[in-house]
Homo-oligomer: A and B are copies of this chain.
Amino acid sequence: MHFIIDKSQLMNGIQHVNKAVSTKTTIPILTGIKFDLTAEGLTLIGSDSDISIQIFIPKIDQEKEYVKIYQEGKIVLPAKYIVEIVKKLPSDEIEFEQTDHLSVIIRSGRTEFRLNGYDAEEFPNLPQIEEEQVFKIQSDLLKSMIRQTLFAVHTLESRPILTGVLWELENHMLKFVATDSHRLATRTSMVETLNDTTFHNIVVPGKSLNELSKILEDEPTTVQIIVTENQIQVKMKHLLFYSRLLDGTYPDTSRIIPDKFKTNLILSKQEFADAIERALLIAKDDKNNIVKFTTQEHLMVELSSNSQEVGHVTEQIQANEIDGDQIKISFNAKYVLEALKAIDSQEIRIEFTGALSPFVIKPVDHDWALHLILPVRTY
């Protein structure tokens, strides 16, 4: 392997694949990034066996020469060192020359590193994906859908299936569901499918979605997604992202979402979020973050929280609309705040069926998101 590469292209590539590299693995070769140089360009791969990321840096792209190729070859280099070395090299061009299949010389300006690596033949192969179920989505939309559901997954390993986000696709409608059994977040969107792609019970690990979200671009570009029985592959230009799926059956959450309500109100999202943040200052003194919510006369809502030791807080908010019965309910303010932050709407609708039943928070502007929260029994 012998080539000269543009520093910023290489930096960008290794920073991306590095997101799949685990520092905690017990398999030494997985702490490395695979460099594979062919006549077409350089392929970089990082993998922690759950997630794999592959980046291709072409020899020439849009008439710019990124890689000068002298001799093909491959090696696995330790991610921790190669990322730092490339970042700090003095010149805009970097030369890599393999001295044997376990080490390379890296030259830039008057700097020369000799770095020990691993045998590329021992690096695990990427999963073989058959194009079973395929759909297309814009990168910024996918990123939003992840942000708007991921926070609600279970973080403890006690119920492994709940640490992932459920993906369902039917009639061109993609739906994400996440729940930790105290609250639930859903987000749906229309997507473009090949033929009539349909799938259910596809559960993508939360950790994978977190990494995927960092890679997805904010500018809308088309992303192609292939779903198989045990893997998902996300295809972007020159980038492939793989994640294994979680085993098991995701619980049927459709039945717990109420469809009749006794109290219904509309609030400014920002005012409600600000008031909850202040109430949390006292509420978080106790682990359940309990805030009391009471509707009052003249479209007013009162929030309050109490801590024996610290003190007390009372907030009043003016609602835009209150219909139905008076309600007096307590909830975990952190769950409500996280739901509010995930909603893209100036106003939100809250629907209650009683002080002991789950309530729903929805955007007023659209129907694509729904948050369900279990109240806490205090009254």
The reply to whether B116 and A85 form a contact with Cβ atoms under 8 Å apart is: no
Judge if A278 is at the interface, Cβ distance under 8 Å: yes
Which one of B88, B103, B114, B274 lies within 8 Å of A88 (CB-CB)?
A: B274
Q: Chain B CB within 10 Å — which of A84, A85, A274, A278 has the most? A: A278
Segment from A189-197, A249-257, A311-319 that makes contact with B: A311-319
Chain B residues positioned under 8 Å from A4 (CB to CB) = none
Query: Which A residues fall within an 8 A CB radius of B?
Result: 78, 81, 84-85, 88-90, 103, 110-116, 274-275, 277-278, 281-282, 309-317
Asked if residues B275 and A111 are in contact (CB atoms below 8 Å), the reply is: yes
Q: Which of B90, B311, B316 contacts A113 (CB 8 A)?
A: B311
Residues of B within 8 A of A312 (CB): 113-114
A177 to B310, CA, bound (A): 45
Q: Is the CB of B274 within 8 A of A90?
A: yes
- Tell me whether A114 and B274 are in contact in the complex, defined as CB-CB below 8 angstroms, given that A85-B281, A88-B281, A281-B85 are known contacts: no
| Least distance between A83 CB and chain B CB atoms (Å) | 10
Contact B111 A313 (CB under 8 A): yes
Closest partner residue, chain B, to A88 (CB atom): B278
User: What 14 new A-B contacts, CB under 8 Å, besides A90-B274, A114-B313?
Assistant: A78-B310, A81-B281, A81-B311, A84-B281, A88-B274, A88-B277, A88-B281, A90-B278, A110-B317, A111-B313, A113-B278, A113-B282, A114-B312, A116-B311
The docked-state distance in angstroms from the alpha carbon of A84 to that of B277 is 10
In the assembled complex, the CB of A123 is this many whole angstroms from the nearest CB of chain B, namely: 19
Residues in B with CB closer than 8 Å to A115 are 310-311
What is the minimal beta-carbon distance from A365 to any residue of chain B, in angstroms?
Answer: 25
Which residue of chain B lies nearest to A107 when distances are taken between CB atoms in the complex? Answer: B314
A103 to B310, CA, bound (A): 10
Q: In the complex, what's the smallest C-beta–C-beta distance from A162 to chain B, in angstroms?
A: 32
**Could you tell me the distance between the alpha carbons of A314 and B105 in the complex, rounded to whole angstroms?**
11
- Chain B residues near A282: list those with CB within 8 A: 81, 113
Distance to closest chain B CB from A136 (angstroms):
42
Cβ B278 vs Cβ A316 within 8 A: no
CA A229 to CA B347, docked complex, whole Å:
63
User: Quick check: A85 and B310 within 8 Å, CB to CB?
Assistant: no
**B contact residues around A111 at 8 Å (CB):** 275, 278, 313-316
Complex Cα spacing A281 to B281, Å: 43
| Interchain CB contact under 8 A, B114 and A311 | yes
> By the criterion CB–CB under 8 Å, are A310 and B84 in contact?
no
**B313 lies within 8 A of A112 (CB):** yes
Please tell me which one of the listed residues B89, B309, B315 contacts residue A278 in the complex, with CB atoms under 8 A apart. Answer: B89
Output the residue of A113, A274, A277, A316 with the most chain B CB within 10 A.
A113
Cβ contacts under 8 Å, A78 to chain B: 310
Most chain-B CB neighbours within 10 Å: which of A81, A110, A274, A275? Answer: A110
How far apart are A76's CB and chain B's nearest CB, in angstroms?
14
- Residues on B with C-beta less than 8 A from A315 are 110-112
Choose among A90, A274, A281, A282 the residue with the greatest number of B CB atoms under 10 Å from its CB.
A281
B314 touches A112 (CB 8 A): yes
- Alpha-carbon distance between A115 and B312 when the two chains are bound, in angstroms: 7
Q: Report the bound CA distance from A310 to B110 in whole Å.
A: 20
A364 to chain B minimum Cβ distance, whole angstroms, is 22
Give the complex CA separation of A316 and B109 in angstroms.
9
